[in-house]
Amino acid sequence: MLRILAVLAAFCAVTYGCPTILTKSQWGGRAPTCRTAMATPVTYVVIHHTEGTSCTSQSACITQAKNVQNYHMNSNGWCDVGYNFLVGEDGLVYEGRGWTSVGAHAPNYNSNSIGISVFGSFISRNPNTAAQNAVKSLISCGVSRGYIKSAYILKGHRNVTATDCPGNTFYSTITSWPRFQY
């Protein structure tokens, strides 16, 4: 029985896959100064943009990940970068607080959501296909690994807080993604 489960687990991992996720240590991020564990699976996925500089190469995205983390820790005084994950137009995912730590990205939703932010400002353009696919793949990955409920609800940051995030164009795009709810 265990062997069958192991085979099934391997099959599912291959079937659903996960995007390439660079861990905090792989991109040279700072360790958190405090951490609150998050109960999983979570109900919500909240989409953001950093409203900063976009990046299309791993080295450029690493620079942006460090910039965002430094801003959140040094200027905002937070324990860590606010988002659970960051995504670049290089198609890679950069670990923030990860799957099992409460983020600081959407008041009232932080303890029951995964916050995913794409590097860049998407007011008048969309993230490229690589970045959009990485976000979708990351959500599927979270569901397959049991960190996100299969009946999750997708929201844009503006649906839960008074903000323009994740930018008009990208927001319009995610309203047509699976499981989106206003």
Segment near Zn ion (CB under 5 A); pick from 11-19, 28-36, 53-61, 163-171: 163-171
Q: For residues 34 and 32, give the distance between their C-alpha atoms in angstroms, rounded to a whole number.
A: 5
Q: For residues 134 and 116, give the distance between their C-alpha atoms in angstroms, rounded to a whole number.
A: 10
- State which residue, 155 or 157, has the beta carbon closest to Zn ion: 157
Least separation in angstroms between CB 166 and Zn ion: 6
Q: Which position among 24, 97, 155, 157 is part of the footprint of Zn ion (CB under 5 A)?
A: 157
β-bridge partners, 116: 47, 85
Q: Which position among 165, 171, 173, 174 is part of the footprint of Zn ion (CB under 5 A)?
A: 165
Burial class (CB in 10 A: 0-12, 13-18, 19+), 142: buried
Least separation in angstroms between CB 157 and Zn ion: 3
Least separation in angstroms between CB 9 and Zn ion: 34
What is the Cα gyration radius of the chain? 16
Phi, psi of 153 (to 5 degrees): -115, 125
For the four alpha carbons of 100, 68, 152 and 93, in that order, the dihedral sign comes to: negative
Do the beta carbons of residue 116 and residue 42 sit within 8 Å? Answer: no
- The residue ranges of DSSP E strands in the chain, in sequence order, are 21-22, 42-49, 85-87, 93-95, 113-118, 148-156
Least separation in angstroms between CB 101 and Zn ion: 18
72 binds Zn ion (CB under 5 A): no
Report residue 172 as tokens.
Answer: 């319009």
Segment near Zn ion (CB under 5 A); pick from 45-53, 72-80, 84-92, 121-129: 45-53
- State which residue, 55 or 165, has the beta carbon closest to Zn ion: 165
Least separation in angstroms between CB 49 and Zn ion: 7
Segment near Zn ion (CB under 5 A); pick from 52-60, 63-71, 96-104, 158-166: 158-166
Residue with tokens 């007011």: 123
- State which residue, 24 or 105, has the beta carbon closest to Zn ion: 105
- State which residue, 24 or 157, has the beta carbon closest to Zn ion: 157
Residues making contact with Zn ion (CB under 5 A): 48, 157, 165
